[in-house]
Amino acid sequence: MKNIIIVSVVVSLVLIGIIYSYVGNIIGDDMVNILSMLAAILILGITVGVGVKYVNQMKNDTASGELADENWDGIGEYKNDLPIGWAVVFLGTIVWAIWYWFAGYPLWAYSQIGEWNEEVATHQEKFEEKWSNISEEDLSRMGEAFFSVNCAPCHGVQGDGMDGKAADLTKRLDASAVEYAIRNGSDNHLVSEYMSMPAGLLWNAVEIKQVSNYVASGFTGIGKDVYEANCASCHGMDGMGIPGVGANIRTFTPDLIKAVLDNGKKGAIGSMPSFKGRFTDTQEKAVSLYIEKLRKGEL
């Protein structure tokens, strides 16, 4: 038992020393930091103490007391009272949690994340106010800068998707993307958060290939009849979409880009994460205009 106590004390001191070496220089005279350090030491001491107690108890104690009537496969429990130490530690943890959330670090207190979000929101309001009447030429330039910083790392500087690593934005859709949407549906909230395209609207493999190639080819070639019979009721005869019914599958529009940035997008080559809240409406319009120019080959 003495050896266990000695080892426990040594280990505790070493752990305390390691903790202090990392945080000692930032504790200062901040009462919250001091109390947090003391709490860490207290928790460590309680952990070691409880460990020592029960290791010793397992080595030396024998079962005793009155067995409960219930048992599981012949294994029963004794009707022993809750150990005082356990009860004290449990109540102490509750007291500590109440102090931590309502006095030490109140939920309504200052936070760096909160300050950052407030500063970002303020900056975005000023940005929107400054560029509220921006010309189309300047909007396109803004879109190019925005695209270079936020989109090019995945989609490439020219927007060509870098050999399939991301969607090729020089065209609205390729055949594999159209086929994926037909076979798997589309739940990318391109129309609204409540509207999605169900899977399996076409089952014939030949017709799926025809429609996919027809849409990817700019609505030319074989597949027109199949498209008009099965797809045009939602996406329109020209593929420009129907508000509240089907997405535009011919061009990139500001609403389409905003939906993808806000909700992300899952497609044939993988998933794009959501960037909701990171960009202003003007920035989204700018990148939408730039991407559409990329698609038209006007850059």
pLDDT tens per residue across span 119-164: 988 999 999 999 988 998 899 999 999 999 999 999 999 999 998 8
Q: Is residue 131 part of a domain?
A: no
The rounded distance, in Å, linking the Cα atoms of 5 and 11 is: 10
Give tens-digit pLDDT for 243-290: 888 889 999 888 888 888 888 888 888 889 888 888 899 999 999 999
182 and 274 together in one domain: yes
Question: What's the DSSP call for residue 291?
Answer: H
Task: Decide if 292 is inside a domain.
Answer: yes
The model's pLDDT over 205-252, given as tens digits with 9 standing for 90+, comes to 999 999 999 999 999 999 999 999 999 999 999 999 988 888 899 998
Same domain as 84, residue 192: no
**What is the mean predicted confidence (pLDDT) over 163-187?**
90
The answer to whether residues 16 and 39 touch, using CB atoms and an 8 Å cutoff, is no
Q: Is the pTM of this model over 0.95?
A: no
Note whether 283 and 142 are within 8 A (CB).
yes
Tell me whether residue 250 is in a domain: yes
Confidence (pLDDT) at 186: 85
Tell me which residue range forms the domain holding 84. 2-61+75-104
Cα torsion 17, 18, 21, 24 to 10°: value is: -70
Same domain, 87 and 159: no
Give me the number of domains the chain comprises. 2
- Look up residue 103 and give its DSSP letter: I
- Please report which confidence band the pLDDT of residue 84 belongs to, taking 50, 70 and 90 as the band edges: confident
Residues 140 and 287 grouped into a single domain: yes
pLDDT tens readout for residues 59-69: 777 777 788 88
